[in-house]
Chains A and B, each alone.
Chain A
Amino acid sequence: MAEQALAGIRVLDLCQMVAGPYCAKLLGDLGAEVTKIEPPGSGDMARQRAPFVGDQPHPDRSLLFLYVNTSKKGITLDVSKPGGMKLLELLAKDTDILLHDYQPAQAAAVGLQYERFRAVNPALVMVALTPFGSTGPYKDFKAYPLNTFHAGGEGYLTPAGAQYLDRPPVRVGKYVGEYSAGLSATIAILGALYWQRITGQGQFVDVSKQEALISLNPIELNRYPNHNMVASRASRVTSYGGIMPCKDGYVELSLYEDHEWEALVKLMGEPAWTREEKYKDRPARVANGLELNRRIAEWSSQQSKADIVPRGQALGCPIGPYNTTKEVCDSEQMRARGFFKELSHPVAGTFAYPTAAYHFSHTPWQAQGPAPLLGEHNDEVYGKRLGLSQKALDSLREDNVI
C-alpha cells in the first residue's frame, strides 16, 4: 500500500448525518485513523435515511450512510450515560482531533466541553461543526440540512431567473450544503493540526455551517454591504447563452468572449441570421439577448447533446452537457480518471463509489474500508486500544454504555 498523506493522525468522529461524517471521511480517505462513535441501539440517524440499497430499509444499507463513512472504524458509545464520557476522555487521550456536531446546549448537557478535554490532552484539537456555530443568538436553533442551506444565502438565489419568483427558492443539489460545510471544516482542522505539529498545542475550533456556506459566494453577497444591492433570483440574469434545450436533454453555453460566440456560430453552421446587425458585437447581443436565445434554442432543440458538445468543444465553444447521475457514472472521462471504485460491504454488497477529485502523485486516495457496521470495532478499540478487559466490556454493554 502506498503511503498516505494523513497517516498517523487520529480522529474521533462524534457526528451524525452528513457534514461531520463527510469531513471525517475526507480525512480518513487520506490516511487518518478515524473512529466513528455512534449512539448504541439505532446509531447515526443517517442509517435510517432512504434510499437504501435494493430499497430495503436496514441500518447498514442507507446509501447516504455508506458514502460518508468509508475509511472509518465504528464503535458505539452513549456519552450521556455515566461512564460514557469517561470512556470518551480515555479515547481522547491519544487522539489528535475530536470532531463533534453537538449544538452548544446539547454539548453542555452531556459535558462535551473543551476545557475538560484539554485537561486530558492539551494537544487535542476539538472541533464543533454546527449549523450556526458555538456562539450567538441562533447557536441552539434547530436546523436540518434544508434549513442550514437556506441560511447560507445561496438558496435565496436559486434557481436563477425572474420567471421563478412565483415558486419557492430551492436548495442546490440535495445535501450539497452539508458536504460543502464538511469540506470547509477540513481546512480549519488541518490548520489547527499544523499548529499542533509545530507547538504541541491543541485548541477549540468553532465551525458554523452557515458561515461556511456564506463564504462560497462573496461576489454576489458582498454587494449588499458595499453597494446596497440585494441579489435575488431575478437579478441573476444570463444576458445570452446559458441553458439550452436539446433533443436528449440540456446543454450549458457560456459565451463571455467574442471568439466564443464565433465558435458557436460555426457550430450552428453559420446561419444567415447570426450576421444580422443586432448580433454584431457583444453589447448588441446583450441588448437582444432574449431574442438571440430563442434563436439559439430553435437550433439546439433539433440537436443532440452527444453530438454538439464534442463538436462545439473542438471549435473552442464553451459548451457542456447537463449530465444526469447516470451520465456522470457512465462518463468516459470519469472512467479514464478512475473516479469510481468498487467497495465491498458485508451487508450492503459491492458497487462503485465516487473516490476523490484529486490525484496525489505520492499519496493516492485509498479508502481504508467500507462504512463500519454498528459497533463493529468495539472489541478492537476498547479492548486493544484502551486495554479494557472482556469483563469490563461486558459490563459496559449491559449498562448500554456501548
Chain B
Amino acid sequence: MPDARKKPLAGIRVTDFTWAIAGPYATTMLSYFGAEVIKIESRRRLDITRTVVHPITKKFPDPDESPAHIDFNHNKYAVTLNIQHPAARDIAKRMAQVSDVVVENFRPGVLARLGLDYKVLATLRPDLIMLSTSTMGQTGPKSGIVGYAPLFAAESGLGEMTGYPDRPPGQVRLTVDAMSALSNTFTIMAALHYRASTGKGQYIDESSTEVVSALLGDSLLDYTANGRVQTRSVNRDENGAPHNCYRCAGQDRWISIVVHTDEEWKALRETMGEPAWAAEPRFATTAGRRAYEAELDKHIEAWTVQFDAYDLMHRLQEAGVAAVPSFSSEDLFTDPHLIERGLAHVLEQPKLGALIIQSPPWKLAATPPTIDRHAPLLGEHNPYVMKELLGMSDLDVKRLEEQGVFT
C-alpha cells in the first residue's frame, strides 16, 4: 500500500467519466500523487483503448489485456455503469457527491442531456471541481465536432508546422492527446489549490486543439505581430547551423547536432578532423552556414554516416558539441542513463503477469509519485464502490444488477 503520509493528494477522490487518452491519462497522473481515481465505464461501449488491435497478435484483445488501456489507466479503480439507465445516473450522482473532482469527455452537451452536468452536480457537491475536455471546447461554432488526435493536431496548426516543406504536413498522433492530458492535470491541480485556499470549487472547459495551439505560441505571434505565416522546416532554426538530424551507421540511425556558437563550430570541425570544406570562409559564420545549409548538411552527413550514433554522441559531447541520437524505443529502454533513472516500472497485471510501463516522469524527493495498482479489470471495483463507498447492501447491488445497471 502507498504511504498516505507521503502523498500530496491523499484523500482526494476523482470520478472519471472519460475514455481514450486526454482524460484517462490526466486522472492517472493525479493518481500518481495519491488521488483515488474511479473510472466509470460501460460494457455497452468499451473505452477504445480496451479494444484497439493488439500490436503483436493483430487480434482484438480481451478488454482486460489491452496494452493501450493498461498504459493509460493503471493505478485506478473501475466500475461499470449503463448510464442510459436512470438508476445508473443516480449512482453517478452519488459518486460525484463523494468526489472532489469529476472529469468527463463526452461530446459537448451529452452530459447535460443525461442530467449530470456541472450545474446539477454542483448543487449536490458545491465545492466540486469539474473538468470537461473536448476536441474544440464546450463553446463556439465548432464545439460539436468529431475528431481524434490527428484531427486536432491538424486543426491546431501543429500538422502544418511538422515535416518537410516540399511534402504534405506531418500527421501527429498520440502525443497531442498526452499534451492535452498534461494540461488537464495541471488545471485540475490549480483548481485544487484554489479550493484549498477558498473552499470554492469550479468548472473548467478545456479544448485539446487550444492546448496544442498554445504550444505553437511563438509561431502564432509571428503572424499576429508580423503577418508572417511560418511553416514546417524539417529540423532547422534560423538561429543556428548545423541544426538537423544526420544519418549514422546502421539502418535508420540518426543523430541530432546543433551548433549555435563559434566555439561549438570550432569543436565540431576539430572532431571531424578539420576537413578542407569546413575551413571555407562561407562556412565561418552562422549566417554563412545558414545560406549554404543544404551543402553543409551533406558534408556533415558524409562524416556522421561512418559512425555509430552512440559513439558519436560521446565523442561530440566530450568536445562540447550538442549531439544526441534520435532515440528509438529500443534505445530508450536499454539506455544506461534511463536505466539508472528508473524509466521502466514493472507492473503486476492480473491475467498477464509482470509487464513494463513507464515510471511517473517527475522525481519529487520527499513525495515521490508512485504506481501502486494495476490497470483495473472491467467492473473490478463495483463491489468496493457500491458497498463500501456508497453504502449499498448486497441486496441493493443484486437488485440493480438484475436491472442491467452495471453493464
Contacts and interface: CB of A to CB of B under 8 A. Distances in A.
Does B associate with A? yes
Interface stretch (B77-85, B162-170, B390-398): B162-170
A360 B332 contact: no
A102 interface: no
B1 interface: no
Contacts of A325: 157, 160-161, 216, 219-220, 222-223, 229-230
| Residue of A49, A183, A191, A256 with most chain B CB atoms under a 10 A cut-off | A191
B165 to A, nearest CB: 11
Contacts of A1: none
Interface string A297-319: 00000000000000001001111
A319 B174 CA distance: 17
A333 B156 contact: no
B321 A142 contact: yes
Contacts of A329: 220, 223-224
Interface in B170-228: 170-175, 178-180, 182-183, 185-187, 189-194, 196-198, 200, 202-211, 213-226, 228
A225 B357 CA distance: 8
Given A324-B231, A353-B217, A26 B186 contact: yes
Contacts of B136: 333
Contacts of A3: 194, 198
B337 interface: yes
Contact of B329 (A51, A215, A221, A327): A221
A252 B156 contact: no
A156 B327 contact: yes
A358 B26 CA distance: 14
Contact of B171 (A147, A150, A242, A316): A242
Contact of A205 (B237, B355, B363): B363
Contacts of B174: 216-217, 219-220
B33 A211 contact: no
B179 A205 contact: no
B193 A190 contact: yes
Interface string B60-99: 0000000110011000000000000000000000000000
Contact of B362 (A132, A165, A187, A361): A187
B303 to A, nearest CB: 15
A176 B164 contact: no
Interface residues on A, range: 35 or more
A229 B185 CA distance: 30
Given A143-B322, A192-B367, A170 B164 contact: yes
A238 interface: yes
Contact of B238 (A51, A67, A210): A51
B175 A154 contact: yes
B263 to A, nearest CB: 11
Contacts of B221: 63, 66-67, 351, 353-354
B351 to A, nearest CB: 14
Given A138-B337, A221-B332, A357-B211, A323 B154 contact: yes
Interface residues of B, number: 148
A203 B362 contact: no
B3 interface: no
Contact of A245 (B168, B360, B362): B168
Contacts of B171: 159-160, 238, 242-243, 252
Interface in A114-146: 114, 132-138, 141-144, 146
Contact of B172 (A158, A254, A336): A158
A48 B225 CA distance: 17
B289 to A, nearest CB: 15
B155 interface: yes
A27 to B, nearest CB: 8
A183 B179 contact: yes
Interface in A241-266: 242-243, 245, 250-252, 254, 256
B193 A194 contact: yes
B327 A152 contact: yes
B114 interface: no
Nearest to B297: A168
Interface in A54-84: 54-55, 63-64, 66-68
B151 A359 contact: no
A194 to B, nearest CB: 4
Interface in B248-279: 252, 254, 256-258, 260
A349 B225 contact: yes
A155 B326 contact: yes
A63 B193 contact: no
B23 interface: no
B252 to A, nearest CB: 6
B164 A159 contact: yes
B14 interface: no
B387 interface: no
A328 B163 contact: no
A358 B260 CA distance: 36
A252 B235 contact: no
Contact of A252 (B159, B225, B247): B159
Interface in A350-368: 351-354, 356-363
Contacts of A104: none
Contacts of A155: 245, 256, 326-327
Contact of A232 (B180, B252, B258): B252
A341 B139 CA distance: 17
Interface string B313-341: 10001001111111111101100111011
A216 to B, nearest CB: 4
B365 interface: yes
A65 B241 CA distance: 21
Contacts of B172: 158, 172
A323 B156 contact: yes
Contacts of B157: 323-325, 327-328
B115 interface: no
B29 interface: yes
Contacts of A158: 162-163, 170, 172
A362 B201 CA distance: 8
Given A51-B222, A216-B174, A167 B230 contact: no
B320 A142 contact: yes
A15 interface: no
A5 B194 contact: yes
Contacts of A218: 71-72, 357-358
Nearest to B357: A222
Given A53-B226, A195-B8, A172 B162 contact: yes
Rank and list the top 6 A-B pairs by shortest CB-CB distance, nearest first. Answer: A357-B210, A188-B362, A336-B140, A203-B366, A168-B245, A159-B170
25 contacts: A5-B194, A8-B197, A150-B245, A150-B327, A158-B163, A168-B246, A172-B162, A190-B193, A197-B193, A214-B361, A222-B358, A223-B67, A226-B356, A227-B56, A230-B330, A328-B156, A328-B213, A333-B136, A333-B140, A337-B140, A337-B210, A352-B224, A356-B210, A358-B183, A363-B194
Given A5-B190, A136-B340, 5 more contacts: A190-B189, A242-B150, A322-B154, A328-B216, A352-B224
